[in-house]
Structure 1
Amino acid sequence: MQPKALAMAVSGAAAGLMLAAGTVQAQETFEWKLVTSWPKNFPGVGQGPERLSTLVEEMSDGRLTIEVFGAGQLVPGFEVFDAVAEGTAEMGHSASYYWKGKAPAAQFFAAVPFGMNAQEMNAWLHYGGGLELWNELYEPFGVNVMAAGASGVQMGGWFNKEINSVDDLDGLKMRMPGLGGEVMSRMGVAIVTMPGGEIFTSLQSGAIDATEWIGPYNDLAFGLHQAADYYYYPGWHEPTVMFEALINQEAWTSLPDDLQAILRTAVRDVNADVLDEYTARNNDALQTLLEEHDVELRRLPDDVLTQAKEHSEAVVTELAESSDMAGKIHESYRAFQDKVVNYHAISEQAYYNARNPEGGPTTAE
Structure 2
Amino acid sequence: MKRRHVLTALGVGAASAALAGCNGSKEEAASTEAKPVAPAAKQQETYNWKLVTSWPKNFPGLGTAPERFAKMVSEMSAGRLNIKVFGAGEIVPALQVFDAVQNGTAEMGHSGAYYWKGKSPATQFFTAVPFGLNAQEMSSWLHNGGGQELWDELYAGFNLKPFAGGSTGVQMAGWFNRKIESLEDLKGLKMRIPGLGGEVLKRLGGSPVNVPGGELFTALQTGSIDATEWVGPYNDMAFGLYKAAKYYYYPGWHEPGSTLEFTINLEAWNALPDDLKAIVEYATKAAHLSMLDEYTARNNQALQQLKNDHGVQVLKLPDDVLISLRETAEQVAKEVAAGDPMSGKVYASFSKFAKQAAEYHKISEMAYYDARML
**Which bin holds the TM-score, normalised by the shorter protein?**
over 0.9
2:243 aligns with 226
2:11 aligns with none
Q: Do residues 33 (structure 1) and 46 (structure 2) align?
A: no
Name which of 85, 88, 94 aligns with 2:102: 85
2:280 aligns with 263
Q: Describe how 1:182-331 pairs up with structure 2 within 5 A.
A: 182-331=199-348
Output the CA distance in 2 between the equivalents of 1:346 and 1:160. 39
Q: CA offsets per residue over residues 100-146 of structure 1, 9 Å max, x none?
A: 00011110111101101010011111111001001111111111101
The question of whether the paired residues in 1 share the 8 Å contact of 2:166 and 2:287 is answered with: yes
Name which of 70, 76, 79 aligns with 1:62: 79
**Aligned partner of 1:186: which letter?**
R
> Number of residue pairs matched?
356
Output the CA distance in 1 between the equivalents of 2:360 and 2:302. 32
Q: Over the residues paired in the alignment, what is the CA RMSD in angstroms?
A: 1.9
**Aligned partner of 1:162: which letter?**
K
Tell me, what secondary structure is at the counterpart of 1:92? Answer: strand
From the CA coordinates, give the structure whose radius of gyration is larger.
2
Q: CA offsets per residue over residues 66-112 of structure 1, 9 Å max, x none?
A: 00011111111111111111011111111100000001111011110
Tell me, what secondary structure is at the counterpart of 1:31? Answer: strand
The question of whether the paired residues in 1 share the 8 Å contact of 2:114 and 2:195 is answered with: yes
- Unmatched 5+ stretches in structure 1: 358-365
Tell me, what secondary structure is at the counterpart of 1:45? Answer: coil
Question: 8-17 or 129-138: which moved more?
Answer: 8-17
The question of whether the paired residues in 1 share the 8 Å contact of 2:134 and 2:257 is answered with: yes
The question of whether the paired residues in 2 share the 8 Å contact of 1:166 and 1:301 is answered with: no
Output the CA distance in 1 between the equivalents of 2:237 and 2:205. 28
2:12 aligns with none
Normalised by the size of structure 1, how large is the TM-score?
0.94
**Aligned partner of 1:350: which letter?**
A
**Aligned partner of 2:223: which letter?**
G
Structure 1 position 25, deviation (Å) = 3.0
**Aligned partner of 2:24: which letter?**
S
Name which of 150, 155, 158 aligns with 2:175: 158
Name which of 24, 31, 42 aligns with 1:11: 24
- Unmatched 5+ stretches in structure 2: 1-14
Q: Describe how 1:107-186 pairs up with structure 2 within 5 A.
A: 107-186=124-203
Tell me, what secondary structure is at the counterpart of 1:321? Answer: helix
The question of whether the paired residues in 2 share the 8 Å contact of 1:179 and 1:316 is answered with: yes
**Aligned partner of 2:210: which letter?**
T
